[in-house]
Amino acid sequence: MTMTHSETAAESDKRRLRRELLAVRNRLTADDLRETAGALAGRALGLPELAGARTVAAYVSVGAEPGTLALLDALRARGTRVLLPVLLPDGDLDWGAYAGEGSLARVRHGGRMALWEPAGERLGPEAVTGADAVLLPGLAVDPRGMRLGRGGGSYDRVLARLDRAGARPALLVLLYDWEVVARVPAERHDRPVDAVVTPSGVRRLG
């Protein structure tokens, strides 16, 4: 497939925006991270999409990402089944059930940042198609719901898998307030999300 000029420009714009946003995240303190994680969990737990969900596919935040652990524990305490990703060698994602912080293993994938992954049984890449809501990591989102990811493509595969299966879970992204931006550069394969949760509130998108 030949790449159009606009796709090349979008990729370059995405790279620049990623660099800018990561630089801001890297200035956050441990106190900032703790405070925002608590606020995010409170906001997210009020969402009807999560209140009614039997199964939620989520992820464990690493580094300066908006913290998810408080939210994962609160969902689990509610009786919600929480699935967490396992990064495969080809960049795709397998899934495992979250059974509390003690069920996580720290796994380093090549030169990338170490990830916290579920240590138990692998449920297969298709397990995500049974989720009622999917929490996606990201660096930014715009009012159309276009999400800027890390650029690894793992979640593009997840979204394509949901499409193929005809699955329509609520797609939610957790971000800091300043990461809701006027416009995210988008390519043809990008799929919009339904809502963004930030420490100050929830915003419906699209």
Q: How much is the average pLDDT of 126-139? A: 97
Q: Which residue has the higher pLDDT, 112 or 24?
A: 24
User: Per-residue pLDDT tens for 17-73?
Assistant: 999 999 999 999 999 999 999 999 999 999 999 998 999 999 999 999 999 999 999
Q: How confident is the model at residue 2 (pLDDT cuts 50, 70, 90)?
A: very low
The reported pLDDT for the residue numbered 150 is 85
Q: 69-77 and 30-45 helices cross at what angle (nearest 10)?
A: 30
- For the chain, the straight-line distance linking the first and the last C-alpha, in angstroms and rounded, comes to 29
Number of structural domains the chain divides into: 1
User: Per-residue pLDDT tens for 154-188?
Assistant: 999 999 999 999 999 999 999 999 999 999 988 88
Name the binding residues. 14-18, 60, 65, 147-155
Residues 6+ apart with CB under 8 A from 36: 66, 67, 176, 199
Name the binding residues for ATP. 14-18, 147-155
DSSP letters, the chain, are -PPPHHHHHHHHHHHHHHHHHHHHHTT--HHHHHHHHHHHHHHHHT-HHHHT-SEEE-----TTSPP-HHHHHHHHHTT-EEEEEEE-TTS-EEEEE---GGGEEEE--TTSPPEEEE-S----GGGGGG-SEEEE--SEE-TT--EE--SS-HHHHHHHHHHHHT---EEEEE--GGGB-S-----TT----SEEEETTEEEE--
The reported pLDDT for the residue numbered 3 is 47
Give the domain range for residue 36: 5-204
Name the binding residues for substrate. 60, 65
Q: How confident is the model at residue 112 (pLDDT cuts 50, 70, 90)?
A: low
| pLDDT cut 70: percent of the chain above it | 95
Main-chain phi, psi angles of 79, to 5 degrees: 95, 10
Judged against a pLDDT cut of 70, whether residue 1 lies above it is answered with: no
The reported pLDDT for the residue numbered 10 is 81
* Cα–Cα dist 143/159, whole Å: 19
Q: How much is the average pLDDT of 131-152? A: 94
Q: How much is the average pLDDT of 144-163? A: 93
| pLDDT cut 90: percent of the chain above it | 80
The reported pLDDT for the residue numbered 7 is 52
Q: Which CATH number covers residue 92?
A: 3.40.50.10420
The reported pLDDT for the residue numbered 189 is 79
